[in-house]
Amino acid sequence: MDEATLQFYRSNAESYARREITSRRARLAAFLALLPLDAAILELGCGAGGDTAEMLARGFDVRATDGSPEMAAVASRSLGRPVETLLFHDLHEVETYDGVWANACLLHVPRQELATVLSLIWRALKPGGAFFASYKEGEAGGRDTLDRYYNYPSQDWLRATYAEAGSWNSLSMERGEVRGFDDRIAPMLFVVAQKGG
């Protein structure tokens, strides 16, 4: 994880947590529909825990994590349950989860490290497990006005990087837009993949 980006979330955990984001609810519902009712879900980059709360309310077994201890603490208070601090490279489970939800977090992984992180997620998924992630679309890594690093992938680059990371039964990619914390509209790529096997 880029240190300046991680520091941004550590320093702005409370204000970031106050943002209300509802646009991804349909994507979360579609993702959950791919999973068995008793699914074990790993959530990476849970932020304030809004998606965690929705998954828990639907009866799923969720391991919520965030790379920022401060953000994990905010989410833990909001949810009334422990939220772990976990950096992507510290994911060591093997075939443990039915699903991995990584909304708006893997987009901060340096481009040269993304295939490695995706391979750790692939390994942590059970065969047939579902994986959601979102990225700000572009052609090369760079920083936003808040000095946060983004890998800004193109569709072709992202497909090749997923293929390098593991074997997927399916991989779908949709375009969309979101208004970021910097109050700018950004083009997004939303990826849903299912592990082969």
**Model confidence pLDDT, tens digit, residues 49-80:** 999 999 999 999 999 999 999 999 999 999 99
Sort strands 168-179 and 97-102 into parallel, antiparallel or unpaired: unpaired
More confident residue, 145 or 6: 145
Q: How far is CA 151 from CA 25, 83, 144, 158, 188, in A?
A: 24, 26, 11, 10, 12
For the chain, domain boundaries? 3-195
Sort strands 149-150 and 168-179 into parallel, antiparallel or unpaired: unpaired
Amino acid at 59: G
pLDDT band at residue 178 using 50, 70 and 90 as cut-offs: confident
| pLDDT at res. 181 | 73
Exposed (0-12), middle (13-18) or buried (19+): which is 124, by Cβ within 10 Å?
Answer: buried
pLDDT of 20 higher than 50: no
CB 65 within 8 A of CB 95: no
Q: What is the CATH number of domain 3-195?
A: 3.40.50.150
**What is the distance between the alpha carbons of residues 57 and 125, in angstroms, rounded to a whole number?**
22
The residue to which tokens 């692939």 are assigned: 122
Diameter of the chain by CA atoms? Answer: 42
| pLDDT at res. 56 | 97
HSE of 99, CA atoms in CB hemisphere, 13 A? 28
- Which of 104, 122, 91 has its CA nearest to residue 177? 104
| pLDDT at res. 12 | 65
| pLDDT at res. 24 | 73
123-176 pLDDT, tens digit each: 999 999 999 999 999 999 999 988 899 999 999 999 999 999 999 999 999 999
